[in-house]
Structure 1
Amino acid sequence: MDPRQAWKEYLRELCFSSNDSSDEEDELFMEGMRAWQADLEESERRPWGGSVPGRKRINWYRLKGHMKLFNDYFADPPVYPNYIFRRRFRMKRNLFLKIVAAVEEKDPWFQQRRNAAGELGLSALQKVTVAFRMLAYDAPADSLDECLRLGESTIIESMRRFINAVVQAFSDEYLRSPNEEDTVRLLVINSRRGSPGMLGSIDCMHWRWKNCPTVWAGSYTGHVNAPTIILEAVASHDLWI
């Protein structure tokens, strides 16, 4: 097996298992890391030039961006501990890796590949991380390239494909109305928690209605000084919305 593929399989297994890794798995992991380092050194020695005469090409040092991201949050041990990962990514690391694996499976665009020049492209960790940062912090695309090494157009494409892949991967379980079995399950759980007859906690969010017809603007304007549409959602105790 290609060392890089072994490294990816190691990372994939990590998100579905809480057990300690074996010596053989650790060796595969280290072999994959050495292969990544060799690619990084080779990319730095390779001369760079634009494909269009007269146009300067920016060397993004994509592998450096991947290695920095990996060492910061996914290495063993990482630079930043789990509680900082959860604060910055708004979820646990195992959940993040599970989403990355699902997105890679649904859309091959997220899988790391070599281009026509033989250079390794962006990793799934980089592409998914920029999508999460834009969603969590409302960050503009061109503000994320300095540390994650993606161009603005690639970040926007990552966001678009990430949303589509998440819908494909998780819509059957999460993006649907509750059925009779779900209703019974939620009622039983909340009854045991001291709230009989309760499905979950309701919350709402105001979404700015940019193209609201002028004649309706007054009816849709409340405490926010602009027309909005209210999105209401009910979430169970384990955040199944």
Structure 2
Amino acid sequence: MEGESADLLRGGIHDALGLDEDDDDDDLLAQQVLFSTPKEDVARRRGGSQPGKRANKDRDFQARYKRFVQQYFAPNSVYDELDFRRRNRMSKSLFSRVLDGILEADPQYFEQRPDATKRMGIHPMLKVTSVLRVLAYAMSADALDENLEMSDTVIYNNVTHFVEAVDKQFGSEYLRSPNETDMQRLLQMNARRGFVGMWCS
């Protein structure tokens, strides 16, 4: 019985991630997703400040945002366009387009707002960056805390809201089956690459 439930769960992960159950690489990815969450994370209680819980960490969101801008977006940034593309798996212009779309689709969550102590919260650029790193590298949210200065809970929430906002904002254009115009464009693009008559290469 235990093997059957694990197979069902693994199959559900394959379906959720759009993976092929017959592909060994996809099967390995599904297993990593299935077994990467430590059990103590699942059992941990959430719910904000309460007596007996650990004190909040004093994360400096504003300083981290300024460093992020200096690293990637300042005129003499530390990292160039290629570094940005490698780390985020997209160009800066596409990042900006996605960021604008996300802010339009879910401003309530992604806009930067002051917290209860009147300190400004996490900048939308950092929220989106945290999601891209989780998705691009299959990183655990906890591994990003040191670099991006966000708790794993915040990063999990970022991922959830990001996925919903992408579906809402871009789903009708990009998350659909290709139409005739798309097929012709793909055929022409692949013909230029030497794959004449192939729309999926």
TM-score w.r.t. the length of structure 1 is: 0.58
Deviations 1:59-90 (A, max 9, x none): 11111111111111111121111111111111
Residue 156 of structure 2: aligned partner = 156
1:35-80 superposed Cα distances (whole Å, 9 cap, x missing partner): xxxxxxxxxxxxxxx9656753321111111111111111112111
Task: From the superposition, tell whether residues 90 and 190 of structure 1 become closer, same or farther in structure 2 (CA, over 3 Å).
Answer: closer
Following superposition of structure 1 onto structure 2, how do residues 1-241 of structure 1 map, counting pairs within 5 Å?
Answer: 52=50, 56-108=55-107, 109-191=109-191, 194-201=194-201
Measure, in 2, the Cα distance between the counterparts of 1:51 and 1:190: 55
Cα separation, 1, equivalents of 2:81 and 2:192: 31
Higher Cα radius of gyration: 1
CA distance in 1, matches of 2:101, 2:137: 23
CA spacing shift, 1:197–1:131, aligned 2, 3 Å: same
Aligned equivalents of 1:135, 1:193: Cα separation in 2 = 28
More helix by share: 2
User: Judging changes above 3 Å, is the alpha-carbon distance between structure 1 residues 187 and 113 closer, same or farther for their aligned structure 2 residues?
Assistant: same
Cα gap change, 1:196 to 1:67, in 2 (>3 Å): same
Distance 2:163 2:149 in 1: 21
Tell me: CA distance 1:182–1:56, structure 2 relative to 1, closer, same or farther (3 Å): closer
Shift in Å at residue 182 of structure 1? 2.2
Q: What is the CA deviation profile of residues 105-138 of structure 1, one whole-angstrom value per residue up to 9, with x for unaligned ones? A: 1111111111232210000111011101111111
CA distance in 2, matches of 1:52, 1:166: 34
Give the partner amino acid of 1:56: A
Aligned partners of 2:192 and 2:152: how far apart in 1?
49
CA distance in 2, matches of 1:79, 1:174: 33
Q: TM-score, normalised by structure 2?
A: 0.68
Task: Give the 3 Å change call, closer, same or farther, for CA 52–177 of structure 1 in structure 2.
Answer: closer
Is the strand fraction higher in 1 or 2? 1
CA distance in 2, matches of 1:183, 1:177: 10
Residues paired across the two proteins, number? 152
Q: SS of the residue aligned with 1:171?
A: helix
Change (3 A) 1:83 1:186: closer
Partners of 2:68 and 2:164 in 1: CA distance: 24
Q: How much does 1:188 deviate?
A: 4.2
Q: 1:192 to 1:61 in 2, by over 3 A?
A: closer
Structure 1 residues 192 and 146: alpha-carbon distance in aligned structure 2, compared to 1, 3 A threshold: closer
SS of residue paired to 1:144: helix
Which segments of 5 or more consecutive residues in structure 2 lack a partner in the other structure?
Answer: 1-47
Question: CA separation in 2, counterparts of 1:99 and 1:147?
Answer: 22
User: What letter matches 1:86 in structure 2?
Assistant: R
Percent of residue pairs bearing the same amino acid type: 41
SS of aligned partner of 2:173: coil
Match of 1:4 in 2: none
